Structure 1
Amino acid sequence: MNPIALLLLAFAMSTDAFAAAVGKGASLKKASFSEALKMGLVFGLIEATTPVIGWLIGKSASSYVEAWAHWIAFSLLVALGMYMIYEGMKSDPETVEKPSSLSFLTVSLTAIGTSIDAMAVGVGLAFIHVNIWIAAALIGLATTFMVTLGVLLGRTIGSLLGHRAEVFGGLTLIAVGVWMLQGHF
């Protein structure tokens, strides 16, 4: 995977966390930079860990599916992208229940919920021989940045942008999947 695709993947993985952060930021009375950064760091650490877990799962099965690796990675990315688009299109910003605090437990559970897709991407990355440590670090850094920004912007722009960010993230995942498949041929 080339560096541009890896960077796009990192930011695509952070869009669902960004969407959640915008909602959390919109619910806060005062979204200070230190609170936003704390939330960004929790999300970033969890989001960086899950692709490594997925990669380990994928590596354990890689010898069985090496010939199909590019198709598996493509299918996972497209499926995840379509799911993110579906979630982004169906969610109604007016009906989403917003948390009232940024407790560590609430932030951690939200981060885990938004990082499941990164675990699935980690499985796909195991089949295309990507340096998982660089990929995980980029995903973690992108998520830290995007969540911090999302919390700060949430109070100003509300949940509408978060809704659109998830659709954009889904489209980006599909584009990365197509790009990877095209590079194989």
Structure 2
Amino acid sequence: MNMLSLILIAIGLSMDAFAVAISNGISMKKVSIKDASRIAAFFGVFQAIMPMLGWAAGVGFKDYITNIDHWIAFILLTFIGGKMIYDAVKEDKLEAGEVDKSTNGRLSVKMLFLLAIATSIDAMAVGISFAFLDVPIINSSLMIGIITFFISFAGVFIGAECGNLFQKKAEVMGGFILMIIGFKILAEHTKLEFISRIFR
């Protein structure tokens, strides 16, 4: 997998956290760099850890399914992307506004922890696909975490300034990015299989 694909996957995965960060920014009366860094750190760390956990699980099954690895990556990425788009258009979408109004609308550590897990489940599934595709997991996970941190950091301030405008659009865009990458992986591997059969 090339660097551009990895960056696009990282951006796609960060869109859930971005949407939640925007929501929290909206709920806060005043946003500081410290507040934005705190929220972004939770999302970034979990987005970095989850692909490693998924990769570790995937490695154990790698030798048994190498012939269908690209199909697994395709199914996982398109499912995750589709789920993100579906969730974005649902009216009962997760509300990140369950905050203590007496604390300037800041999320509690417990709520941040739960939201960080909820928004990084997709990253675990992507980590499984990384194991099948021989993607270097440490560097990839760090990149996903760092990109998520900065996008979430920006999301808090965007939420404070721009209201609800970008929440659903951001997650829909993230879903489409993951689905496009899934199709790209399938197309690349299918093409390679076709070429190898011709020259057998």
State the TM-score bracket (shorter-chain normalisation): over 0.9
Tell whether the 8 Å contact from 1:27 to 1:99 is kept in structure 2 after alignment.
Answer: no
Overall identity of the aligned pairs, in %: 40
1:156 alignment partner AA: E
Q: Please give the residue correspondences for 1:20-169 in structure 2 after superposition, counting only pairs within 5 Å.
A: 20-91=20-91, 96=95, 98-100=97-99, 101-169=106-174
Q: Which residue of 1 aligns with 2:196?
A: none
- Matched residue type, 1:181: L
Cα distance in 2 for partners of 1:164, 1:113 equals 19
2:20, 2:96 within 8 Å by CA — same for their partners in 1?
Answer: no
Instruction: After the TM superposition, list the runs of 4 or more consecutive aligned residues in structure 1 that deviate by more than 3 angstroms.
Output: none
One-letter code of the match for 2:186?
L
**SS of alignment partner, residue 140 of structure 1:** helix
- What does the per-residue CA deviation read over 1:40-95, in whole Å, with 9 as the maximum and x for residues that have no partner? 111101110000000000111111111000110011000100000101111468x9
Q: What is the CA RMSD across the aligned residues, in angstroms?
A: 1.4
Which of the two has higher C-alpha Rg?
2
Q: Which has the higher helix share?
A: 1
Please give the TM-score of this superposition, normalised by the length of structure 1.
0.95
Q: Is the 8 A contact 1:24 1:99 kept in 2?
A: no
Number of residue pairs matched? 184
1:160 is paired with a residue whose SS is: coil
Structure 2: gaps spanning 5 or more residues: 100-105, 192-200
TM-score by length of 2: 0.88
Aligned to 2:102: none
Structure 1 residues 51 and 91: CA distance shift in structure 2, 3 A: farther
